[in-house]
Structure 1
Amino acid sequence: MRSVANQTRQTQINVGANTTIIGLRGATLRGLTLMVDRVSNVIIRNPNLVDARDCFPAWSPTDGDAGNWNSQFDLVSVRRSENVWIDHNTFSDGDNPDRDLPIYFGRPYMVHDGALDVTHTASLVTASYNRFLGRDKVMLIGSSNTVGPDVGRLNVTLHHNLFDGTLQRLPRVRFGQVDIYNNLYRLAGDGFGYALGVGVQSAIYAENNFFALGAGVTAADLLYDWGGTVITERGTWVRPERGLARPVSLLDAYNAEHDPDLGGDAGWTPTLRAGPVLPTPLVPVVVPALAGAGRLPV
């Protein structure tokens, strides 16, 4: 515990209220966590955020059937905060990807947690035009299944982000109303888990997203039931590894192969969007051109 506390003191940057962070062209924050906790009115734009590695991962023998290694440092963590905008950033593990790490106790030695996690009653968070590259765990919205303070919070918008070679939590959602539109998913085949995690009392509204699938990945693999019951999903296009892109209902594909079925009405319609929703076939053209660090005129 003392070692973890020492690492936290040396690598965690606590972002204050009413703060804007703008990275100049080529700016990189390596091995650091931007912690947005108990504040409001924060903007983070344009840096490369790289390899927030945990030097002291913990072995959890009861996590899963065979145990797992768990880490606690995110590249950006938003907790107990609101009115936060995460825009035009690039998130990656740099030259320290999880796939190159060793196996201990029969499980991968995980030194990374999330890229961008929104937890502990945070709300009114927007992530737009970001690139998430080659990560395993990407985005957790809500950190516990316990019904409590998170109810009515964790309201998040994700639009025009590129998830490239990422494996899971794109995002995984609990409790919140989460608007997911015009995002591009270029999904790896090897090691891919799922894209949208439908968790406890989650209300995902997914519209006009485009999925390019890696080897062995099907439309039925893109949703995962983490204890949720519903998702509104419309306008999705899928391009298999070999084949042409076409409209696909992820909900129908999931329900055809899994029980129990997920319902198709999350019970709300987004009203706070930055602009019109693009037709889905334009997403793989527009998003790669605009998303990520280095695209802003700074």
Structure 2
Amino acid sequence: MPARMRNVRAIAVVMGCASLGLAVSLPAQASSPHSKGIERAVLPSGDGWASADGSTTGGADATPDHVYTVTDRAELIAAFEDAGDAPKIIKIAGTVHGNADEAGTPIDCEAYQQDGYTLEKYLAAYDPEVWGTDEVPSGPLEDARVASAKLQAAAVNVNVPSNTTIIGVGKDPTVIGASLQVKNVSNVIIRNLSFEDTYDCFPLWDPTDGDTGHWNSEYDNLVVYGSDHVWVDHNTFSDGDRPDADQPSYFNEVFQQHDGLFDIVRGADLVTVSWNVLKDHDKTMLIGNSDSAGDDDRGRLRVTLHHNLFKDVNERAPRVRFGQVDSYNNHFVASKGAAYGYSYGVGAESQLVAEHNAFTVPKGFDKATILKKWSESSLSAGDNYVNGRRTDLIAVHNAGVPEEQLTEGAGWTPALRTKVDHPLAVPLLVGLGAGAGKASLR
């Protein structure tokens, strides 16, 4: 659909909702024709936690010599190294592959194999009927797996410096198989990109994990670790052409090659996540990755999630520990037949406010499972709608899961919100506006 027609359609939808008495707003990213352009956009004032204590400007003040267009992983890293912590704008054009050679050509898992590792040998060595179930793998094949994984990690993990805007430009800008690491830095904006299939070639088999053992993998598409003032806007996150549902099973467990889609951990703070699509995945988003990380996380992990689409994700949308997390005006979709565990995970000392959201679920769906209690924490969850009906998520949960009673009242009231839309309008607005390619700036 041409851009002009999309804009006309969006305006028509908003006008229609307004006629029903619903408060709605177009995405805050829509700017005037005289704006500096999408690459120099900054987080609007009052738009979530990333607008607190200063604001988030990324590379908006970049000089012309610190504006780069990159088409592969090597160019991306070179741009980061060239600019250092100076304000910089990185435009990603086309597809950047994390698993690639120096020329940017994609490579497969065999290219990383070290010291005689093959999956076939690994499976033979650590088959529970051979190795047993009481100890994690050790010995030459496990050492070879670790060496191979280390080589892949050097290619997959890409560190993002401070004062950076990363923006997708052109047709379908995509990052495949790379993990952007926003680690111990400040002032970063990431917009208008599709992130796909950040896969682990060398998952660890742990027979002691749970009752039956599990495959454990590394890498998220995006990680915010120990960083502050980060704005993640209008991106799409998925497993691409390698969904977990299509993976084989070994030792009666799915060969899990993906970890999370997007995690915010280890003292990260002041983050706004807006107008993104997160879809078709298992472990979606952690805010706080460990109950034992309180020394790093208490008083931090302040995150705002708004106008995001969580579609057919099994769990962690998000799972929260410690932080004051404001989640409003998001749309959660569970399709018939898709794996579903829960949406909001209430974890250690979390202070989650989940309000004004919309849920679209199939007939017979157990609404009590939308919330999941992991630890004794309180939350606020008012004015949420399930299939168009206002639903008290805490009451429904407590009635349906009597052994996991949740207490109402997060203990704080969010103030950093732009206009809050009526939950009945959220599916339309998010459907029209969320995801890569929808940041309609000139």
Give the TM-score normalised by structure 1: 0.95
Partner of residue 370, structure 2? 222
Say yes or no: does 1:262 pair with 2:377. no
- List aligned pairs for 1:56-75, cutoff 5 A: 56-75=202-221
> What is the identity, as a one-letter code, of the residue corresponding to 2:413?
T
The percent of aligned pairs where both chains have the same amino acid is 46
Q: For the residues of structure 2 that align with 1:265 and 1:272, how far apart are their CA atoms? A: 18
Could you tell me which runs of 5 or more consecutive residues in structure 2 were left unpaired when the two chains were aligned: 1-145
Partner of residue 434, structure 2? 291
Moved more, 224-233 or 32-41: 224-233
TM-aligned CA deviation for residue 148 of structure 1:
2.0
Q: For the residues of structure 2 that align with 1:75 and 1:225, how far apart are their CA atoms? A: 26
Contact 2:329 2:426 in 1 (8 A): yes
Match of 1:250 among 393, 411, 419: 393
- List aligned pairs for 1:142-221, cutoff 5 A: 142-146=288-292, 147-188=294-335, 189-214=337-362, 216-221=364-369
Measured against aligned partners, the alpha-carbon deviations of 1:179-207 in whole angstroms (never above 9, x if no partner) come to 00000011134321100000010010011
Say yes or no: does 1:276 pair with 2:419. yes
- List aligned pairs for 1:21-36, cutoff 5 A: 21-25=166-170, 26-36=172-182
Match of 1:137 among 270, 273, 283: 283
Q: For the residues of structure 2 that align with 1:117 and 1:198, how far apart are their CA atoms? A: 16
**Larger % of strand: which?**
1
Q: For the residues of structure 2 that align with 1:214 and 1:60, how far apart are their CA atoms? A: 35
Contact 1:190 1:215 in 2 (8 A): no
Q: For the residues of structure 1 that align with 2:372 and 2:404, how far apart are their CA atoms? A: 12
Rg comparison, structure with higher value: 2
Q: For the residues of structure 2 that align with 1:34 and 1:215, how far apart are their CA atoms? A: 38
Partner of residue 48, structure 1? 194
Contact 1:73 1:114 in 2 (8 A): yes
Partner of residue 15, structure 1? 160
Moved more, 138-147 or 43-52: 138-147
SS at structure 2 position matched to 1:24: strand
> What is the identity, as a one-letter code, of the residue corresponding to 1:195?
S
Contact 2:197 2:238 in 1 (8 A): yes
> What is the identity, as a one-letter code, of the residue corresponding to 2:394?
L
Partner of residue 107, structure 1? 253
Q: For the residues of structure 1 that align with 2:362 and 2:150, how far apart are their CA atoms? A: 39
SS at structure 1 position matched to 2:283: coil
Q: For the residues of structure 1 that align with 2:212 and 2:347, how far apart are their CA atoms? A: 22
From the superposition, tell whether residues 111 and 216 of structure 1 become closer, same or farther in structure 2 (CA, over 3 Å): farther
SS at structure 2 position matched to 1:27: strand
How many residues end up aligned between the 2 structures? 292
**Larger % of helix: which?**
2
> What is the identity, as a one-letter code, of the residue corresponding to 1:262?
L
Partner of residue 87, structure 2? none
Q: For the residues of structure 2 that align with 1:232 and 1:95, how far apart are their CA atoms? A: 37
Contact 2:313 2:339 in 1 (8 A): no
TM-aligned CA deviation for residue 215 of structure 1:
5.2
> What is the identity, as a one-letter code, of the residue corresponding to 2:278?
F
Contact 2:265 2:287 in 1 (8 A): yes
Q: For the residues of structure 2 that align with 1:144 and 1:263, how far apart are their CA atoms? A: 22
> What is the identity, as a one-letter code, of the residue corresponding to 2:399?
A
